[in-house]
Amino acid sequence: MKNILIVEGKTDKKFLESYIDYLCKTAPEKYYFLDDIDNDNDNIKDATGQDKIFSVLNAQRIFINKRETKNIGILIDADNDGIDKKIEEKINPAIQKAFGTENAIQFPNQKYPITYTENDRENTFNIFCHIFNLNGKGELEDILRKIRTNKTLQSPICLDKFVQCMGDFNIAYPEKEYKKNWVYFYGYESLKKEQLNIEEIKSKLKNNEYYTPKYWDFDNPLLNELKQFLDLFQ
Amino acid sequence: MNDMHFVKSIKIKNFRCFNSLTVESLSRVNLLGGYNNIGKSTFLEALEIITQSKTKVDFINIIKDIIYRRQGKNLQDNEFDMIAYDESWFELETTNNCVFLEIKSNNTISILEDEDRIDKQYNNISDTLQVELKVNDDSDKIPHSRFIDIINNDSSRYRSPRYRRDLKSSENIDFINSSTIDEIKLASLYGKVIDLGIEKEIDSFLGEFDSRLDSLVIRPTERHSVFKVKLKGKLQPVLLSSMGEGLNRYFAIICGIWKSQNGYLFIDEIENGIHYTKYEELWEIIFKISKAASCQVFATTHSRECIEAFSRVAEKCDRDNIKYINFSRTVDNPDEIVATVLESVGLEENFQLGADVR
C-alpha cells in the first residue's frame, strides 16, 4: 500500500522530506508507516499551480484502482484566505473533479474515506488535509520563522533594504515572496557559520539542504498539528 | 458527424487474460497504455470481435482471422486460445452487441438439428466436445473438431458454405498490427482511398511526413501491384517499402482510417517505426481524419513520448472525443487487470508530477 503526500511548492516538499526523515529516524517504531514516503521522495508530489492538485489526484486514480494508493494527504498554506476557504475552494473542488465526491473534507486533520465506482468496480481510499497556519492565516514560512533555532542570527539586512528600496518606488514586494526569501537568507546565514566554502554553501542552498533539525526546532509544539496530520497515514 | 456506431463501453468476461473487465467512457480516439503483457492487444482483439460479429458467421471468421494473425504460420496446428485459463466460455458485450462462446461436453447438448451434412459427419465421428457460438439471441452449436478445422482454415475438411464469410460485413473495420505492413495489406487499405477519390489528400499527408515526397504511384505487375513514391525533382519513382518502416506505417494508418470510414480501426503499437519527432503530426492527422471519416480509433503504445504528444495535440483538438486508457494489474491480485480512463489532456503533466501513467 502506498501513501501519497501532495504539497504546494518546492520549499514545502523539501521541508516535509526532511521533517519526515527526522520523525522516522528519531522514532522509527512510531512512524514506521511513513517509511514509504521517507524512502521514496516521489511519493511527495509538488502540485504548485492552477489545477495541479486535480492533476495529481486524477493520475492517482490509476494507482487507487490497482489498490496501490491507500492514503492521500494534502498540505497547503492558509494564506490570507484562511483554513475553511482553502478547503472549500481549493481542495474539495479538486477532489470532486477527480472522483465526483462533493464536499469530501469538512475539517483539517481528519481522515475521510472516499468510495467511487469506475468501470463497474468500487474503489476506496482515504483523503485528509492539513492547512499550514498561525492563528488561522499564513503559511509554512511563518511557522519556520517561529521555529528557527538561531533566534539571534542577524536578519537578512539586504532583503529588508531591497524591500524598502522597492517601496520607495511605490512597488510593493509581495509578502509571500518576502517570507520565502527570508527562509532562504536564514538558510544562507546559517550555512555561512559552518565553515563551508562558498561553492559548498551554494550547493547546499541550491539543494535546499538547510531544512535540518540543526537550524529548525522539529520538536516545537507549533508542529504538533502537522504531526497529527502525518499520523493519519497510519 | 455520425458517431452512433462508436463503442462507448465494453464488458469482457473470461477472454484471454481478462477474467472480468469493464471499460466505460470510450471515445472517438482512444490510446491504450500499460506494461507489457497487460492485455492491450487482447483488448483490441475483444473490440475487433465485438464490432465485426454481426452474425455467427462473422464471429467465427474473425476468431479465425485473429488466431491466424497471432499464431500465423502454424496452419493446421493453430490453437484456440481465447478463453481465460481454467474457464470454458467467454463473453463480450457492448450496448448494441453481445457475443458468447462456450466449449462444452457433447452429451450436454442435443445433436444438431439442421440438415448440414458436414455437421452430421462430424457428429458421427463422436466428437466429445462441442462449441456453442452465440451472437445476441442467435446461437449455434458445432463439433469442437470442426471448429478447430474452421479456425485452421482446413479446406480439405471444411467445405460447408454455412460459415463462408460475407466480406461486406467487415469492410469498414481494420487492424494494423505491430509488425511490418506488407504490400497486400497496403493495397487493401489504399483501395478505399481510390474509391473516395482522395489520393491527392494522401499525397499531401505523406508530404507533411517527409517533405521530399511528391506523390504515390501504383505500378501494376503481372501478379499484383507495387507501391512506389515519386520524390520531388526525381524522375524515377522508388519503392515505398524502400522508404523505411515509418513511412509505410504512417501511410497504412492514414489509409486505414479512410478504409474504416463509419467503422473502426485498431492499431497495435502505433509508434513502431515512427520517429518520436513525428508523433505530434501523426496524432494531428489521426484526430482530423478520424473525425472526417467518423472512424473510431483504438491504438496501443508503450512510448511515453507518444502519450505526451497525444496529450499535447489533444489540447488543441477536440479534447472531449479523445481518451487515454491505462491498464494495470492490482497489487493484491496480479491476475486482476483494471482499466482507468483518463482525459487525454494533462498526461504530460502527470509524467512530470511523477505519475508514470504508461
Q: Where are the domains of chain A?
A: 2-137+219-231, 149-206
Asked if B24 reaches chain A (Cβ–Cβ under 8 Å), the answer is: yes
Residue (of B96, B82, B94) closest to B23 by Cα position:
B94
- Per-residue pLDDT band at B16 (split at 50, 70, 90): very high
- Per-residue pLDDT band at B253 (split at 50, 70, 90): very high
- Per-residue pLDDT band at B182 (split at 50, 70, 90): confident
Is A10 a residue whose pLDDT tops 80?
Answer: yes
Whether A58 sits inside 8 A of B23 (CB atoms) is no
Asked if B357 reaches chain A (Cβ–Cβ under 8 Å), the answer is: yes
CA atoms within 13 A on the CB side of B50: 27
Q: What distance separates the 2 farthest-apart alpha carbons in chain A? A: 63
The predicted structure's pLDDT at residue B123: 54
DSSP state of B95: S
Cell numbers found for residue A176: 509571500
* Residue B238, CA distances (Å) to A192, B185, B202, B207, B229 in order: 70, 19, 17, 15, 5
The predicted structure's pLDDT at residue B73: 63
Cell numbers found for residue A26: 528519531
Look up the pTM and report it: 0.85
The predicted structure's pLDDT at residue B71: 85
**CA-based nearest distance A11→chain B, Å:** 16
Whether B343 sits inside 8 A of A58 (CB atoms) is yes
Residue (of A119, A139, A120, A123) closest to A131 by Cα position:
A139
The predicted structure's pLDDT at residue B78: 80
- Compute the distance between CA of residue A132 and CA of residue A141 in angstroms, rounded to an integer: 9
Mean pLDDT of B201-207: 87
Mean pLDDT of A17-42: 87
DSSP state of B75: T
Q: pLDDT digits over B99-118, tens only?
A: 999 998 875 444 444 445 55
Q: ipTM for the complex?
A: 0.81
Q: What does the mean pLDDT of chain A come to?
A: 89
Asked if B329 reaches chain A (Cβ–Cβ under 8 Å), the answer is: yes
Cell numbers found for residue B266: 485498431
DSSP state of B301: -
Asked if B167 reaches chain A (Cβ–Cβ under 8 Å), the answer is: no
Mean pLDDT of A53-78: 94
Spell out the residues 6+ positions from residue A227 whose beta carbon is closer than 8 angstroms to its own.
A23
Q: What is the 3-state secondary structure (H, E, C) of chain A?
A: CEEEEEECCHHHHHHHHHHHHHHHHHCCCCCHHHHHHHHCHHHEEECCCCCHHHHHHHHHHHHHHCCCEEEEEEEEECECCCHHHHHHHHHHHHHHHHHCCCCCCCCCCCCEEEEEEECCEEEEEEEEEEEECECCEECHHHHHHHCECCCCCCCCHHHHHHHHHHHHCCCCCCHHHHHHHHHHHHHHHHHHCCCCCHHHHHHHHHCCCCCCCCCECCCCHHHHHHHHHHHCCC
User: For an interface test with B, which of A4, A17, A62 has the most B Cβ atoms less than 10 Å from its Cβ?
Assistant: A62
Ramachandran region, residue B153 (left: φ > 0; alpha: ψ -120 to 50; beta: rest): left
The predicted structure's pLDDT at residue A207: 85
Asked if A202 reaches chain B (Cβ–Cβ under 8 Å), the answer is: no
The predicted structure's pLDDT at residue B63: 93
- Per-residue pLDDT band at B84 (split at 50, 70, 90): very high
Residue of A62, A68, A120 with shortest CB distance to B357: A62
- Compute the distance between CA of residue A218 and CA of residue A23 in angstroms, rounded to an integer: 9
Q: pLDDT digits over A115-162, tens only?
A: 999 999 999 999 999 999 999 999 999 999 999 998 877 666 677 777
Mean pLDDT of A190-199: 86
Q: pLDDT digits over A79-120, tens only?
A: 999 999 999 999 999 999 999 999 999 999 999 999 999 999
- Compute the distance between CA of residue B108 and CA of residue B97 in angstroms, rounded to an integer: 26
